[in-house]
A = this chain, B = another copy of it.
Amino acid sequence: MTLTAAEWSAVALSLKIGLVAVLCTLPIAFALAWLLARHRFPGKILVDALVHLPLVLPPVVLGWLLLVLFSRSGPLGAWLEDWFGISLMFRWTGAAVAAGVMALPLMVRAIRLSLEAVDRRLEQAARTCGATRWRTYLTITIPLSLPGIAAGAMLGFARSVGEFGATITFVSNIPGETRTLPLAIYAELQVPGAEGAVTRLAILSVLLSVGALLASEWLTRRGRGKDAHVL
């Protein structure tokens, strides 16, 4: 299977956007998961609901919300523009933001499940051994929740690779900049008789995520291994 330049570009973009989205969302997702797993506070159910929002709302609505927030006249967009000279509109960075937002609920849930399964008594043991709260997170909590972190990263990456509605609504379909695999597939789907091209692109998507799957399995297995001080 040889790829056209346009197909290559879509694959490379999907990979780049998926990786950036997952890596940037991971700390946020961990912080939220930790907040939800470990703390009780007024309005917790609201935070929880907010985290699920991107799952519940149709992607197009999410894309529209992002557009409203990040367009030059939007509150966040104006701020980004004024302070950092950054604009997400029509840029691959905007696509990464869309993908990250869509991946967030999946990542938070997976990490939260693992965090809730961590035996708090082991953290207490670490504290009595002299580890500060932070040190305990780094050396005990995070390694023990590695299965959830890996699963979350995997789900998030897969979701990013499949993300369509929010992306096209937020940053449009610009070849080489925001035309990821799903957007390329969409374009092909609009034309009768392009089923062959659609199939090729779909197979590329699947291959990308099989790669991610293997990486996450490897990560989980390594985490269970002998010398797993992750940091």
Which of A83-91, A133-141, A159-167 lies at the binding interface? Answer: A159-167
Question: Does A158 count as interface, using CB distance less than 8 angstroms?
Answer: yes
Say yes or no: A58 contacts B162, CB within 8 Å.
yes
Interface string of A147-180 (1 = CB under 8 A from B): 1100100110011011011000000000000000
Say yes or no: B105 contacts A206, CB within 8 Å.
no
Select one of B60, B114, B186 contacting A117, CB under 8 A: B114
Chain A interface residue count, Cβ-Cβ cutoff 8 angstroms: 48
Select one of B109, B164, B205, B210 contacting A45, CB under 8 A: B210
Say yes or no: A185 contacts B56, CB within 8 Å.
no
Interface of A is mostly: helix
Closest to A118 in B: B117
Chain B residues closer than 8 Å to A53, beta-carbon distance: 206
Chain B residues closer than 8 Å to A185, beta-carbon distance: 58, 60-61
Say yes or no: A189 contacts B56, CB within 8 Å.
no
A and B contact pairs by CB, cutoff 8 A, 16 listed: A48-B217, A49-B213, A52-B213, A53-B206, A55-B155, A56-B209, A57-B162, A57-B182, A57-B202, A59-B164, A60-B185, A60-B186, A60-B189, A64-B189, A113-B114, A164-B165
Say yes or no: B64 contacts A105, CB within 8 Å.
no
Say yes or no: A158 contacts B52, CB within 8 Å.
yes
A residues 32-64 in Cβ contact with B at 8 Å: 45, 48-49, 52-53, 55-61, 64
Chain B residues closer than 8 Å to A110, beta-carbon distance: 109-110, 113
